[in-house]
Amino acid sequence: MTKILLVEDNEMNRDMLSRRLERRGYRVVLATDGQSGVDMAASEAPDLVLMDMSLPVVDGWEATRRLKAAPATRDIPVIALTAHAMSSDREKALQAGCDEYDTKPIELPRLLAKMEALLGGGPGRTAPAAEAPR
């Protein structure tokens, strides 16, 4: 099952988004600050990271730089999540090594489309049914 690491310090956002992703069939693991996010990316080997940028301990930009600097985690796609739709935020996120960028409040269909583009499919892409002949 496709595993998503959600790094988000706001409890309400974290609970709501993780529940919505789980309902779509994703397995979700959670971290509440940037340092835990970096540690969990290494220990959990998620298929994709959703990274809030405004985080305690280590912010999302620095956490992403650390993920992209480490051989074990550099290939994991990271989608930055910020509360601002400013183009400078997008540039800053991409410069930190984020593969994609989305803004809060989350619009789930839009975020899912970006996730699926990076994952090469939805949550069930590794299920046996997906490999059945057409």
Chain residues binding Mn ion by CB under 5 A are: 9, 52, 54
> Using CA atoms, how far apart are residues 27 and 4, in angstroms rounded to an integer?
6
User: Residue with CB nearest Mn ion?
Assistant: 54
CB of 7 to Mn ion, least distance (A): 9
E strand or H helix at 50 = strand 48-52
DSSP state of 130: G
Q: What's the min distance (Å) between Cβ of 104 and Mn ion?
A: 9
Q: For residues 52 and 100, which CB has a smaller minimum distance to Mn ion in the complex?
A: 52
87-96 helix and 60-69 helix, angle to the nearest 10 degrees: 30
Taking the least distance from each CB to Mn ion, the nearer of 4 and 55 is 55
| 49 token code pair | 């990271």
Looking at the Cβ atoms of 83 and 108, the one nearer to Mn ion is: 83
